[in-house]
């Protein structure tokens, strides 16, 4: 997978060692493994000021400043992420992003407005079909954009995933997943992560994803079990409570139920519980997938990542973060973002059998900002 | 131009852009040239304007981009900032950074953001919702009416009217006059329905309007009225909701509010729950006090023109209120989930009656309508 011609000779040799080693364990003393902890040095107070000032500027400029705000927020997080004494850098061009945003917004307005009138409905239909057909392309564009604008040690990341691969990972798998009533959903996650992992490159060093589909099913089943068990734990007492209420007040018109305080309280509690259950299950899938992917990534045959964070702890952080955001009407967002990033990055280790300053620059993978703008504005979940 | 060539010397780390090697380096900047010294390599010189400097991010090393993809990073923020000021680079984003580093600016930004948000919620969303409601094509409104009536019929909110055919015909004929006066080009129609057709969702004595011009009135309201003038006052009020598109504007407004809430609180509320909330907003909605007053004014104008008084609507509003308070012992009717619950449970009936009285007084003082 690595192209020997473009790699420094040392890297290539050590890559050979790594490939001949047993996959799960260390190469036994052939090369010394150096561990580089990843760390995050952002601070909630500092980020809060950046965040709120950029929000205010976005309001004041009626949204035109939005791409600059987005880029600055990202730059803060990238710039405070460190591996081996060097930080990351986000290099997107806000002006290009703004053009992308405006184009996407214009298309969206055209879609929404033309859908309203019978005579122009066909425009909306055409736009919807084009969007569905181009969706994998947009995802690919977005990944290329993100990768090529991520810089570490002066080298850009790249994304070399093919268009065909994108259609398999983001159209075919989703179709199969919906036809199979979700049975193939973990397989879809696997295919998408594999597409992302295998396409990634740092400089000229290609990444490989050594994962398998099985663990994704394990993650999916755990989340499903969690949802079912949680549903029973929440549903049974609520049902009992409702039954007790109706039993006690059997002479009262059922419509009165809506105004009875215990009933409303129970309904609100049930709704909140379902919401929390949803967040828990989904965050578990995200956290566990991220940990699994990180544990199975390899870069140029010489660098591997290891996740030591716990998906369950991440779930706890996500749930409490959501609660904090709701209770503070969003004002705690900077704190929650810093808290989560610090935990995740603090739980990642980079393990290398070659010095990290031995990578070479690569070419290709440039992308326009359109895909990125589309995926951000239309809230496409690219994941990772 | 070459007055005092103050040069700035920065210590930092250099990446050549071809490998990931970090090399300690010194960058010397004066007004014309930049010189990079890396140990073990010959010095490199560039004209000043070919260099770029990246916008400052709080707490992050400053980066100078060099021709050929090289990159120089330094912790000497003061030095880079001085050079930025001298050469006029990154003016705007340096200003942003200055704001970001001060708590008072953050507080001011918070105030500006909350103010902008409050303005948007208080004025922006209602105005946009009203525009959207007026812009919604009539064909959509008609579909909307039809579907809502189907839902209501299916949900046992009402059944077929038990009024005699002759009585129904009279009421419909009278309503046509109201509708002709109300105008706006809506295909008005009056539906008479039994509001106590057995279901638990019964509407009781009630009337409501749908955005496309469909007005529904229950047998119970007809029975409650002592004269048809009272009923026409109510129906004129309903046409006021149609011509001002209060119903649809309310729905759009709820949508906008939900959207704002979603954006603020993050992704906790999924799109699914968001979509599920729309019919609920539609059915529960009711109108704002301002919308009620506006519809009362429409009705008041109609009554002043036709009857010379706003008394009919006043009396029936008062009677509805009285009926409600008498029936408060049987809560099934008062607190049942009535939809478009404008006449019954809307607060402030005394205020509304007062307003109608004022209209009448003003109308009599100045007989020019």
Query: Using one digit for the tens of pLDDT, what is the confidence trace for A300-326?
Result: 888 899 999 999 999 999 889 888 887
- What percent of chain B has pLDDT above 70? 80
DSSP line for A36-98: EEEEE---HHHHHHHHHHHHHHHHHTTTTTHHHHHHHHHHHHHHTEEETTEEEEE---HHHHH
Residue-wise pLDDT for B54-72, tens only, equals 888 888 999 998 888 889 9
Mean pLDDT across the stretch B233-261? Answer: 81
HSE-up of residue B203 (Cα within 13 Å, Cβ side): 30
CB contact (8 A) between residue B19 and residue A360: yes
- What percent of chain B has pLDDT above 90? 11
Mean pLDDT across the stretch A147-170? Answer: 90
CB contact (8 A) between residue A43 and residue B106: no
B106 chain-A contacts, CB cut-off 8 A: 48-49, 52-53
Q: Would you say A315 and A280 are in contact if contact means Cβ atoms under 8 Å apart?
A: yes
Instruction: Select from A57, A76, A118 the Cβ nearest to the Cβ of B57.
Output: A76
CB contact (8 A) between residue A56 and residue B109: yes
Question: What pLDDT is stored for residue B273 in this prediction?
Answer: 46
Q: What single-letter DSSP state applies at residue A26?
A: P
Write down the domain spans for chain A. Answer: 214-294
Name which of A49-53, A265-269, B318-322 the model is least confident about: A265-269
A118 chain-B contacts, CB cut-off 8 A: 137, 139
Going along chain B from its start, the domains and CATH numbers come out as 2-100 (2.30.29.30), 120-362 (no CATH)
Instruction: Select from B15, B139, B269 the Cβ nearest to the Cβ of A154.
Output: B15
How far, rounded to the nearest angstrom, does the alpha carbon of residue B244 sit from its chain's CA centroid? 17
A152 chain-B contacts, CB cut-off 8 A: 20
Q: Would you say B212 and B145 are in contact if contact means Cβ atoms under 8 Å apart?
A: yes
Query: ipTM of the assembly?
Result: 0.73
Distance CA A38, CA A308 (A): 11
CB pairs under 8 A between A and B: 155
Distance CA B168, CA B288 (A): 31
Instruction: Select from A42, A59, A255 the Cβ nearest to the Cβ of B337.
Output: A255
CB contact (8 A) between residue A154 and residue B96: no
* Range picked from A309-318, B35-44, B249-258 for highest mean pLDDT: A309-318
| B349: number of Cβ within 10 Å | 19
Residue-wise pLDDT for A50-63, tens only, equals 999 999 998 889 88
Mean pLDDT across the stretch A130-152? Answer: 87
Instruction: Report, in angstroms and rounded to the nearest whole number, the Rg of chain B calculated over CA atoms.
Output: 35
A348-352 and A303-307 beta bridge pairing: antiparallel
Q: Would you say A47 and A76 are in contact if contact means Cβ atoms under 8 Å apart?
A: yes
CB contact (8 A) between residue A361 and residue B268: no
Q: How far is B161 from chain A (nearest CA, A)?
A: 23
3-state DSSP of chain B: CCCCCCCEEEEEEEECCCECCCEEEEEEECCCEEEEEECCCCCEEEEHHHCEECCCCCCCCEEEECCCCCEEEECCHHHHHHHHHHHCCCHHHHHHHHHHCCHHHHHHHHHHHHHHHHHHHHHHHHHHHHHHHHHCCHHHHHHHHHHHHHHHHHCCCCEECCCCHHHHHHHHHHHHHHHHHHCCCCCCEEEEEECCCCCCCCCCCCEEECCCCEEEEEHHHHHHCCCHHHHHHHHHHHHHHHHCCHHHHHHHHHHHHHHHHHHHHHHHCCHHHHHHHHHHHHHHCCCCHHHHHHHHHHHHHHHHHHCCCCHHHHHHHHHHHHHHHHHHHCHHHHCCCCCCCCCCCCCCHHHHHHHHHHHHHHHHHCCCC
Q: What single-letter DSSP state applies at residue A181?
A: T
Name which of A127-131, A146-150, B133-137 the model is least confident about: B133-137
Question: What pLDDT is stored for residue A334 in this prediction?
Answer: 93
Instruction: Select from B15, B117, B266 the Cβ nearest to the Cβ of A322.
Output: B266
Distance CA A77, CA A80 (A): 5
Q: How far is A20 from chain B (nearest CA, A)?
A: 26
Using alpha carbons, select from A215, A192, A221, A343 the residue that is nearest to residue A281.
A221
Instruction: Select from B61, B93, B335 the Cβ nearest to the Cβ of A256.
Output: B335
Mean pLDDT across the stretch B83-102? Answer: 84
Q: Collapsing DSSP states into helix, strand and coil, what is residue A122? A: helix
Distance CA A54, CA B113 (A): 10
Q: Which residues pair with B209 in a beta bridge?
A: B215
- Categorize the per-residue pLDDT at A15 as very low, low, confident or very high, splitting at 50, 70 and 90: very low
Question: What pLDDT is stored for residue B313 in this prediction?
Answer: 87
Question: What pLDDT is stored for residue A23 in this prediction?
Answer: 42
**Looking at the predicted structure, is the pLDDT value of residue B268 above 60?**
no
Q: Would you say A127 and A108 are in contact if contact means Cβ atoms under 8 Å apart?
A: no
Q: CA of A276: which chain B residue's CA is closest?
A: B268
Question: What pLDDT is stored for residue A339 in this prediction?
Answer: 95
Q: How far is A98 from chain B (nearest CA, A)?
A: 16
Find the angle CA(B122)-CA(A104)-CA(A341) to the nearest 5 degrees.
75
Distance CA B181, CA A301 (A): 82
Residues near B318 by Cβ (< 8 Å), separated by ≥ 6?
Answer: B349, B353
Candidates A43, A56, A380: best to mutate against B (most CBs of B within 10 A) is A56
A17 vs A204: which has the higher pLDDT: A204
CB contact (8 A) between residue B140 and residue A116: yes
A256 chain-B contacts, CB cut-off 8 A: 331-332, 335
Instruction: Select from A8, A202, A255 the Cβ nearest to the Cβ of B332.
Output: A255
Candidates B36, B60, B257: best to mutate against A (most CBs of A within 10 A) is B60
Candidates B109, B124, B273, B333: best to mutate against A (most CBs of A within 10 A) is B109
B255 chain-A contacts, CB cut-off 8 A: none
Mean pLDDT across the stretch B153-172? Answer: 84
CB contact (8 A) between residue A154 and residue B17: yes
Q: How far is A324 from chain B (nearest CA, A)?
A: 9
* Range picked from A50-59, A126-135, B335-344 for highest mean pLDDT: A50-59
| Owner of token pair 């009992």 | A240
Start-to-end C-alpha separation, chain A: 22
- Categorize the per-residue pLDDT at A336 as very low, low, confident or very high, splitting at 50, 70 and 90: very high
Q: How far is B113 from chain A (nearest CA, A)?
A: 5
Q: How far is A115 from chain B (nearest CA, A)?
A: 11
Q: Collapsing DSSP states into helix, strand and coil, what is residue A352? A: strand
């Amino acid at each position: 997978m690595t192209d020997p011609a473009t790699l420094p000779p040392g890297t290539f040799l050590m890559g050979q060692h790594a490939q001949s080693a047993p996959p799960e364990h260390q190469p036994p003393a052939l090369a010394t493994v150096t561990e580089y902890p990843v760390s995050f040095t952002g601070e909630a107070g500092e980020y809060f000021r950046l965040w709120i000032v950029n929000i205010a500027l976005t309001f004041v400029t009626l949204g035109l400043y939005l791409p600059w705000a987005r880029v600055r927020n990202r730059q803060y997080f990238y710039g405070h992420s460190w591996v081996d004494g060097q930080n990351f850098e986000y290099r997107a061009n806000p002006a290009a992003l703004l053009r992308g945003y405006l184009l996407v917004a214009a298309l969206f307005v055209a879609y929404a407005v033309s859908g309203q009138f019978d005579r122009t409905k066909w425009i909306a239909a055409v736009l919807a079909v084009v969007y569905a057909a181009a969706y994998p392309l947009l995802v690919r564009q977005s990944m290329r954009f993100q990768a090529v604008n991520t810089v570490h040690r002066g080298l850009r990341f790249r994304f070399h995933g093919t268009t065909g691969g994108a259609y398999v990972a983001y159209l075919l798998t989703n179709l199969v997943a919906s036809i199979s009533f979700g049975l193939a959903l973990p397989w879809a996650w696997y295919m998408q992560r594999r597409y992302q992992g295998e396409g990634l490159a740092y400089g000229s060093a290609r990444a490989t994803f050594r994962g398998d589909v099985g663990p994704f099913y394990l993650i999916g089943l755990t989340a499903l079990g969690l949802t079912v068990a949680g549903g029973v734990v929440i549903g049974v007492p609520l049902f009992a409570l409702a039954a007790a209420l109706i039993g006690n007040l059997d002479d009262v018109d059922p419509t009165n139920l809506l105004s009875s305080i215990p009933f409303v309280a129970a309904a609100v509690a049930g709704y909140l519980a379902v919401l929390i259950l949803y967040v828990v299950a989904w965050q578990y899938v995200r956290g566990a997938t991220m940990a699994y992917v990180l544990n199975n990534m390899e870069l140029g045959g010489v660098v591997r990542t290891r996740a030591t964070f716990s998906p369950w702890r991440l779930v706890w952080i996500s749930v409490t973060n959501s609660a904090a955001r709701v209770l503070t009407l969003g004002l705690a967002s900077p704190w929650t973002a810093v808290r989560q990033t610090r935990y995740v990055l603090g739980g990642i280790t980079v393990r290398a059998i070659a010095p990290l300053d031995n990578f070479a620059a690569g070419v290709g993978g440039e992308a326009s900002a359109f895909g990125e703008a589309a995926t951000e504005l239309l809230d496409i979940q690219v994941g990772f | 131009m070459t007055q005092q060539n103050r040069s700035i010397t920065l210590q930092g780390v250099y990446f050549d852009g071809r490998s990931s090697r970090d090399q300690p380096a010194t960058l010397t900047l004066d007004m014309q040239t930049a010189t990079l010294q890396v140990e073990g390599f010959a010095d490199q010189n560039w004209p000043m304007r070919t260099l770029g400097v990246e916008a400052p991010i709080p707490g992050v090393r400053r980066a100078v981009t060099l021709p050929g993809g090289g990159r120089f990073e330094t912790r000497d923020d003061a030095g880079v900032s001085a050079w930025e000021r001298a050469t006029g680079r990154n003016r705007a984003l340096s200003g942003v950074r200055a704001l970001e580093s001060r708590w008072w600016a953050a507080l001011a930004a918070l105030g500006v953001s909350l103010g902008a948000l409050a303005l948007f919620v208080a004025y922006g969303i209602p105005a946009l919702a009203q525009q959207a409601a007026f812009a919604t094509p009539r064909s959509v409104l008609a579909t909307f009416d039809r579907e809502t009536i189907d839902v209501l019929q299916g949900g046992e909110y009402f059944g077929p009217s038990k009024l005699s055919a002759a009585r129904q015909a009279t009421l419909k004929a009278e309503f046509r006059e109201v509708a002709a006066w109300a105008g706006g080009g809506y295909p008005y129609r009056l539906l008479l329905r039994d509001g106590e057709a057995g279901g638990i969702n019964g509407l009781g004595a009630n009337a409501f309007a749908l955005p496309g011009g469909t007005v529904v009135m229950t047998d119970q309201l007809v029975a409650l009225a002592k004269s048809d003038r009272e009923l026409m006052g109510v129906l004129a009020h309903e046409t006021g909701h149609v011509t001002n598109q209060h119903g649809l504007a309310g729905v759009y407004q709820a949508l906008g509010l939900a959207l704002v809430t979603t954006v603020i609180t993050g992704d906790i509320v999924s799109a699914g729950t968001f979509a599920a909330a729309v019919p609920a907003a539609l059915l529960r909605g009711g109108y704002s006090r301002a919308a009620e007053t506006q519809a009362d004014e429409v009705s008041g104008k109609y009554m002043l023109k036709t009857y010379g008084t706003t008394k009919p609507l006043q009396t029936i509003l008062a009677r509805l209120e009285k009926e409600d308070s008498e029936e408060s012992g049987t809560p099934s009717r008062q607190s049942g989930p009535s939809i478009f619950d404008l006449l019954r449970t809307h607060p402030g009936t005394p205020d509304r009656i007062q307003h109608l009285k004022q209209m009448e007084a003003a109308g009599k003082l100045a007989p020019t309508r």
